[in-house]
Structure formats: structure tokens, C-alpha cells
Amino acid sequence: MAYESDGSLLRNPSMNSVILEKLAEAIFHYTGYPTGLQILAIKAEFGRMTTISLEQSFMYKLDHYTPKRIALMKAKGGVLGTKLRPFLEKLSQNQSIDIRRDSVIRSLILYLGEKQQDLFEDCLEDSRSDATEHVLKILVVHGANEEDPVDAALLLEGREIMPGCGSIAKACTLLMGLIYALNLAFPPTLRYTFEVFQKLFLGLDGIKLTPKVQALNVNLLS
């Protein structure tokens, strides 16, 4: 489910589209669905609202915190440590920057006690998932080996509105831009993940942190 910033539930996707109407009005000023050509428009709208460079800030902080995140994951034991181990193994390999960022974001979600599948819908390139089942999500497309992603897209109110995002990290930045531009609330099941995106990676509204994110922030800065 998706919610507006006042906490009200968005209407059913079968009804007139609340989100897509706002999308056209608030960002693009015409009727239609955004494509890769509108990525700059999303970034510009976010920058206008916040005076922050969306992708530059998000990626810089994500990369800056990666060594500390790896150390924190290594220190985890028990069930969580076991769940994090595959990500540590992938991060220890000589992976591309996009694959490393993918592993860091996915492991962050687990570290915060939330579920990857609440943000990501994974599918194979030749059998893409049905977007109509999802209100606010990132579609992650994998190649034939079923491992490394080859593309990512934004799913919004039952439609794949922005294919060709390129990577999970870039899709996360664009999703943050859309949420701000459309004045939507973060998904309740991912409250801590989006708090980290908002307050630690983008430096917005970071004066007051929840105890869980505050503890993570202290560890990242220590």
C-alpha cells in the first residue's frame, strides 16, 4: 500500500490515478508517463525543493559509509550475521561499483530489520514481473545467470513508469525524488530504510533521528 503525506491511503489503482495525475502536474506538466528522458527533470525538481543535488549527495554518502557498513556487518553474529554473510562475500569480490552499491543497500535493509522484498521486486530479463501488483516499488531485472542486475525500473501505482534506471542505487535516488516531488509518505514497512536515505544519505530533516537510525549513525561516525 502507498500513503499520502497526511497518512491517507491512496485510492485503488483501478480508479483514476492519484499518483500519476500528481506526477504530470508537479513535475512534467503534461499527461503521460515519465521515461528516462525525464530523469533530469526529477533531479531538478528535487533540487528546487531542497537545494540538494539528489544523485551526487546520495551516492557520495552511500560510498563514504561503505567501509564502516562492512565493518558493522562483520561484527554481527547470530541469525542476522548469517543473513548478512552473502553480502559480505559479494563485497569482498572485485565487483563493479553498481554491484557493490546494490549489496550495501540490500544489506542495509536487513541490518535495519526490514525486508528487501518490500522495496525490490526481482525478476528475470525474459520474464518481467507483473507491475499491476505493486503500488510503490523498484523492479530489479536480472540476466540469465539470475544474479547480477542488468537494469532497474520504478513501479508506481501498478505501472512500470521509468525503465532504464540502470542500477538499484540510481533507482533508489529517483524514487526518493518522486516521493518528495509528489509529497508522498515513505512506505511504513521500510520506515528505517527511507529514514537513512533521507536523513543520512541526503542530509534532510536530520535533526531528530529514531533510536535505531541514531544508533546506526553513531556507529558510522565512530
Whether 105 maps to a domain, the answer reads yes
* Domain-located, residue 162: no
Number of domains the chain contains: 1
Inside any domain, residue 212: yes
Task: Note the pLDDT of residue 23.
Answer: 53
In a domain, 50, yes or no: yes
For residue 141, being part of any structural domain is answered with no
Mean pLDDT lowest among 9-13, 51-55, 110-114, 138-142:
9-13
Q: Is residue 202 part of a domain?
A: yes
Does residue 12 fall inside a structural domain? no
| The pLDDT value given to residue 117 | 94
Average pLDDT, integer, range 5-14: 44
| Mean pLDDT, rounded, for 172-179 | 92
Residue 122 placed within a domain: no
Q: Distance of alpha carbon 164 from its chain centroid, rounded?
A: 15
Average pLDDT over residues 54-77: 95
Beta bridge partner(s), residue 141: 123, 151
pLDDT, averaged across the chain: 82
Which of helix, strand or coil describes residue 86? helix
Q: Please tell me which of 12-16, 44-48, 135-139 the model is most confident about, judged by mean pLDDT.
A: 135-139
Q: What is the pLDDT of residues 75-126, one digit of tens each?
A: 999 999 999 999 999 898 877 899 999 999 999 999 999 999 999 998 888 7
- Domain of 80 in residue numbering reads as 34-115+168-221
pLDDT band at 12 (very low <50, low <70, confident <90, very high): very low
What pLDDT is stored for residue 135 in this prediction?
A: 80
Query: Can you spell out the DSSP letters for 64-131?
Result: HHHHHHHHHHHH--HHHHHHHHHHHHHHHS---HHHHHHHHHHHHHHHTT--GGGTEEEEETTB---G
Q: What is the pLDDT of residues 24-51, one digit of tens each?
A: 454 444 334 445 556 777 777 888 888 8
